[in-house]
Amino acid sequence: MKARIHITLKSGVLDPQGKAIQSSLGALGFNGIENVRQGKYIELDISQDDQAKARDQLIQMCEKLLANTVIENYTIDLET
Amino acid sequence: MKARIHITLKSGVLDPQGKAIQSSLGALGFNGIENVRQGKYIELDISQDDQAKARDQLIQMCEKLLANTVIENYTIDLET
């Protein structure tokens, strides 16, 4: 089963990467770009056919390794 | 208008970050995880109400700054 995980900074947490992208875009002449936030995107295959079990396992993976839950949120999408 | 951009490595391009995540997950006892690939996820607000024009501008932004099109693919989602 294919899983897609998005890890984003919580709102209110400063995002220097996003700010750098925003100012670089401005320097390149792209105007009207605001609130740039950069996150991580992880794709993986999980050999678990039960969707609920797969989701549980992915939540554990996010909590233990993939996301820093103090400053980051994560969302999990499972492809059926 | 809110835009979401995914930047992923082209298939065939080695992904050391993905490999590192995969082996770390294995070491933590998560089994059956394969083909881990890490990409970037960028959210931004674009002050352009015409959807076609906004998409054109985002394509230019990806080609010129956000993605390395030699090794990366990008997808653009616009929230209407």
**Per-residue pLDDT tens over the stretch A21-79:** 999 999 999 999 999 999 999 999 999 999 999 999 999 999 999 999 999 999 999 99
pLDDT (0 to 100) of residue A13: 96
> pLDDT at residue B80 above 90?
no
Q: For residues A61 and B44, what is the distance between their CA atoms, to the nearest angstrom?
A: 27
- What is the span of the domain harbouring residue A37? 2-78
Total domains present in chain A: 1
Which chain A residues are closer than 8 Å to B32 by Cβ?
46-48
Q: For residues A34 and A25, what is the distance between their CA atoms, to the nearest angstrom?
A: 10
- CB atoms under 10 Å from CB of A7, counted, come to 19
Token couple for B15 = 């992904």
pLDDT (0 to 100) of residue A75: 98
> pLDDT at residue A4 above 90?
yes
pLDDT (0 to 100) of residue A8: 97
**Per-residue pLDDT tens over the stretch B11-57:** 999 999 999 999 999 999 999 999 999 999 999 999 999 999 999 99
pLDDT (0 to 100) of residue B76: 97
Report which of B33, B12, B4, B13 is spatially closest to residue B21, judged by C-alpha positions.
Answer: B33
Kindly list the residues of chain B whose beta carbon comes within 8 Å of any beta carbon in chain A: 6-8, 18, 21-22, 24-25, 28, 30-48, 57, 60-61, 64-66
CATH number of the domain residue A71 falls in = 3.30.1280.10
pLDDT (0 to 100) of residue B78: 96
Q: For residues A4 and A38, what is the distance between their CA atoms, to the nearest angstrom?
A: 16
Contact B48 A35 (CB under 8 A): no
